[in-house]
Amino acid sequence: MTNRNFSFIGGEWVAGDSEIENRNPSDVSDLIGTYAQAGVDQLESALDAARAAQIQWRSTGIEQRYNALMAIGQEMIARSGELGELLSREEGKPRAEGVGEVYRAGQFFTYYAAETLRQIGDTADSVRDNIEIDIRREPVGVVAIISPWNFPIATASWKIAPALAFGNAVIWKPANLTPASAVAFAEIVEKQDLPRGLFNLVMGSGNAVGQHLVESSKVDAISFTGSVPVGKSIAAAAQNFTKIQLEMGSKNALVVMDDCDLDLAASCALNGAFGSTGQKCTASSRLIVHQNVHDEFVDKLVAGAQAFKVGHALEEGTQIGPVVSAGQLQSNLDYIELGKSEGADLLCGGGRLELATDGYFMQPAVFAGTDNSMRINREEMFAPIACVIKTGSYEEALHCVNDTAFGLTSGIVTRSLSRASHFRRNARTGCVMVNLPTAGTDYHVPFGGRGDSSYGPREQGGYAKEFYTTVKTAYIASGDPT
């Protein structure tokens, strides 16, 4: 990587006003590099360049758009091994997950490449004589994309790919914890023959450059993924009738019924709760378990949690990497203390692990004896911590699933078709999983939630066009042929 000290603005790599260090959370002695922090003047240049480039791009033929997006996607897929390793080195997820994420990011681009060719509108007859109506979608304009560190390449891709596919310009502010992935991504986009300034990578902190970006009247739409407080502040800051799409936290529940395959239930819970070190907005942090199978399920869960190999993200055999940062680790340990003080039973894990390298390692933790009013069951922890809630009936379990401010995903493990169907219809979440972990979604269908989890139109699949386009209705008098 050659451009790590730069932002990519107006088609040029430019040095920032200052720099930050990027260290490997598996081994803090490993300095990945120093990365630029753009100033507000640079952001302004990016916004102006984006506006000019978008005018050009919106009238660029769809086959050219198709070619550019397809090439970006194919390069990501071809280089998923190398880029996945870089991602894992700076974010901490095991190498296989890093590689899988980059591969998936490539699939978002190849999917939206094809979507450029599917931009078909509607026609209608007017209620007035000799007038035809043409209804089509147009780009919204300049889109600000603010992405988090937990899926640094995939989240950016599921926003940037549709933004470009539907004819918009992009200002991307990545998370400051994962700048290396962002620069590598931008280096791939740079190779395409796009109007200068169509795609801009503005490195910098959320409080400085991010805040200025969301307040700018030069931005037509903002797509954000991250925490609820920042999402709310973005909604409040965007004063200019800016279109907003927010994907935020959650407190996803997996229901384990007494008619289920308990091995399947344990495997769904372990995967959903501890995959990516629990740092997923779709993580199964609440496990609502029927009393008839509670003890047996908990035994399997604890055995599984204790069997995980926690280690350096790039070490062979590692199943759970470190948490992303010292701040996140401290927050996790604070939640362990909070859970104990609330009266939950810590059955395993929850401590910092000292390994061969100096990283932010934590033992996966299971709390039992929790109830849904505890803060550990109400606040997003983003941690390898699962909380078991014992329940007496399906009805009680469903009530508990829905008793939350959030609503991203939920799941049920059961052999009963009627319960599964009832759950699918009555769980108040944007995604529902039956006999599957709450985490793990496809790229060609909508993703999003309800309540404090999401605001604005859905992301991904064909539904993404709601956010990245605006509708124009044209009335055309057919004229008098005589």
* Catalytically annotated residues: 247, 281
Tokens of 58: 């919106």
Q: Kindly state the smallest distance separating residue 58's Cβ from ligand NDP, in Å.
A: 26
- Binds ligand NDP by CB under 6 A, chosen from 153, 182, 203, 214: 214
Query: Which of 282, 290, 263, 98 lies closest to 181, judged by CA?
Result: 98
The interface region with ligand NDP, picked from 145-153, 158-166, 252-260, 366-374 by CB under 6 A, is: 145-153
Q: Which stretch binds ligand NDP (CB under 6 A): 20-28, 170-178, 181-189, 409-417?
A: 170-178
User: What is the CA 264 to chain-centroid distance, rounded?
Assistant: 26
Binding of residue 382 to ligand NDP (CB under 6 A): yes
Helix (H) or strand (E) holding 300: helix 294-307
Which span (229-237, 260-268, 337-345, 422-430) binds ligand NDP, by CB under 6 A? 229-237
Q: State both tokens at 132.
A: 């035809």
- Residue from 98, 106, 141, 148 that binds ligand NDP (CB under 6 A)? 148
Task: Tell whether residue 223 is a contact of ligand NDP (CB under 6 A).
Answer: no
Q: CB of residue 173 vs ligand NDP: minimum separation in angstroms?
A: 6
Measured from the CB of residue 65, what is the shortest distance to ligand NDP in angstroms?
26
Residue 106 makes contact with ligand NDP by CB under 6 A = no
For the CB of residue 234, give the shortest distance to ligand NDP in the complex, in Å.
6
- CA 420 distance to own-chain centroid: 27
One-letter amino acid for residue 75 of the chain: E
Closest to 428 (Cα-Cα) out of 288, 268, 252, 285:
252
Q: Per rule CB under 6 A, is residue 230 in the interface with ligand NDP? A: yes
Binding-site member from 195, 249, 278, 411 for ligand NDP (CB under 6 A): 249
Ramachandran category for residue 460: left, alpha or beta (phi over 0 → left; psi -120 to 50 → alpha): left
d(CA 437, CA 455): 24
Please give the helix or strand (H or E) that residue 472 lies within, else none: strand 469-477
The Cα 209–Cα 302 span in angstroms is: 43
The stretches of 166-256 forming alpha helices (DSSP H) are 179-190, 211-215, 228-237
Which tokens belong to 390? Answer: 């014992």
In this structure, what token pair is assigned to residue 283?
């993580």
The continuous run of DSSP H or E covering 66 comes out as helix 62-78
Show the binding pattern over residues 292-331: x = contacts ligand NDP (CB under 6 A), - = does not. ------------------------------------x---
Minimum distance, C-beta of residue 387 to ligand NDP, in the bound complex (Å): 15
Residue range at the interface with ligand NDP (CB under 6 A); choices 140-148, 191-199, 334-342, 467-475: 140-148
Site for ligand NDP in 390-409 (CB under 6 A): none
* 175 binds ligand NDP per the rule CB under 6 A: yes
Sort residue 363 into left (φ over 0), alpha (ψ -120 to 50) or beta.
Answer: beta
From the list 206, 359, 384, 430, which residue makes contact with ligand NDP (rule: CB under 6 A)? 206
Contact 204, 173 (CB under 8 A): yes
24 is an interface residue for ligand NDP by CB under 6 A: no
Binding of ligand NDP at residue 210 (CB under 6 A)?
Answer: yes
Which region, judged by CB under 6 A, interacts with ligand NDP, from 45-53, 147-155, 340-348, 441-449? 147-155
For residue 220, give the DSSP letter. S
DSSP 310: B
Q: Is 45 in the site for ligand NDP (CB under 6 A)?
A: no
Using the rule CB under 6 A, is 216 a contact of ligand NDP?
A: no
Site for ligand NDP in 254-283 (CB under 6 A): 281
Selection from 253, 285, 286, 228 nearest residue 453 by Cα: 228
Residue count, binding to ligand NDP (CB under 6 A)? 27
- Residue closer to ligand NDP by CB (options 252, 391) is 252
Instruction: Pick the binder of ligand NDP from 92, 226, 311, 339 (CB under 6 A).
Output: 226
Select the span of 27-35, 72-80, 142-150, 285-293 touching ligand NDP (CB under 6 A).
142-150
Residue 104 to residues 154, 240, 314: CA-CA distances in angstroms? 7, 34, 19
Q: How many residues does the chain have?
A: 482
Q: Which two tokens stand for residue 330?
A: 């401290």
Q: Which residues contact ligand NDP (rule: CB under 6 A)?
A: 146-150, 173, 175-177, 205-207, 210-211, 214, 225-227, 230, 233-234, 248-249, 281, 328, 380, 382
